[in-house]
Chains A and B, each alone.
Chain A
Amino acid sequence: MVLSDDTKLSHLRRGALEYCVLALLERHERYGLDIARELTTNGVLMSSEGTLYPLLARLRKASWVSTSWQESTEGPPRRYYSLTEAGATALDEFRAAWTVFRDAVDAALVSSGEIA
């Protein structure tokens, strides 16, 4: 089975992208456009900015992020997203799991000669 680049990336993103969003909120709160622009910078993590919002809705529903409104000097008030304690815990757990997962994938790919 040969997958297109978009499909490959889509498969790889699933399950990891939401933690990337949590990581972006780790140091300070951000509004949606700010998060989206960060994630679409290289087109790898996210291809369409709009797909961020279903993801943010899931994170809020899981109580991993919370929202608040703040005035903006550049237009209407903006909804800011911030990391909750539960979200920070989930991010820590993902980091530990991701390290193990990434090392295992790298080892498998190296041993099969596809990278190195």
Chain B
Amino acid sequence: MNQQPHTLHPLVARYLHDLDVLLKGIEPVERAEMVEGVREHIEASLSHTDRADADVRAALKEVGPATAVAEEAWAGRTSPAPSPRPPRTSRAWLPHTVAFFEAVTLLVVMVAVGGSAAVSSSSATVTTPDGKTTTEVTQNNFDGSIEGAVIALFAAIPIWLED
């Protein structure tokens, strides 16, 4: 027996929809029983009111958050949404794959940091006798160091892989 004496107020409809979604995974008959029970409860509590928005909000406040109802529904069950796959971070191949790509990235970083630090140049602005101003490279230096690359290496080492 399913009584639908009134068109559901939009707030009630949304609440029941949210609750139904939160209960997804529970055996359908039990899930429907819970949602229907809450719906009947709200209907009964609104029976002496004008069903104005304020009345509906007050009734929903008494019922409590849909999440609280769902939490009670899921209490003692194994999992709200059993996943057939393990979490991504628990996959055995993941650390090795990350380590490989990180090693490649490290090499690129070392070359970029070390190379950019090693090459520098000096320039000077020169005014020619005819009044034109030009910029000339006066000195090229190759005095950078590998320290930057080494620092980058240690900063990026995937220490978390050592488990």
Query: A: which residues have CB within 8 A of B?
Result: 14, 31-33, 36, 40, 47-57, 60-61, 69, 74-79
The DSSP consensus for interface residues of chain B is helix
* A69 cross-chain contacts in B, Cβ below 8 A: 1
**Could you say which interface size class chain B belongs to?**
20 to 34
Q: Which residue of B lies closest to A55 (CB)?
A: B72
Decide: A51 and B64 in contact? CB cutoff 8 A: yes
A29 to chain B, nearest CB (A): 15
B40 touches A (CB below 8 Å) = yes
Decide: A76 and B5 in contact? CB cutoff 8 A: yes
* B1 cross-chain contacts in A, Cβ below 8 A: 69, 77
- Cα–Cα, bound, A76→B8 (Å): 14
Query: B: which residues have CB within 8 A of A?
Result: 1, 3, 5, 19, 30, 33-34, 37-38, 40-41, 43-45, 47-48, 62-66, 68-69, 71-73, 75
Q: Which residue of B lies closest to A33 (CB)?
A: B44
Ordered by A's residue number, 25 sampled pairs between the chains whose C-beta atoms are within 8 Å are A31-B44, A32-B37, A33-B44, A33-B45, A48-B69, A49-B63, A49-B64, A50-B63, A50-B66, A50-B68, A51-B71, A52-B37, A53-B33, A53-B34, A54-B69, A54-B72, A55-B72, A56-B37, A57-B33, A57-B37, A57-B73, A60-B33, A75-B5, A76-B3, A78-B40
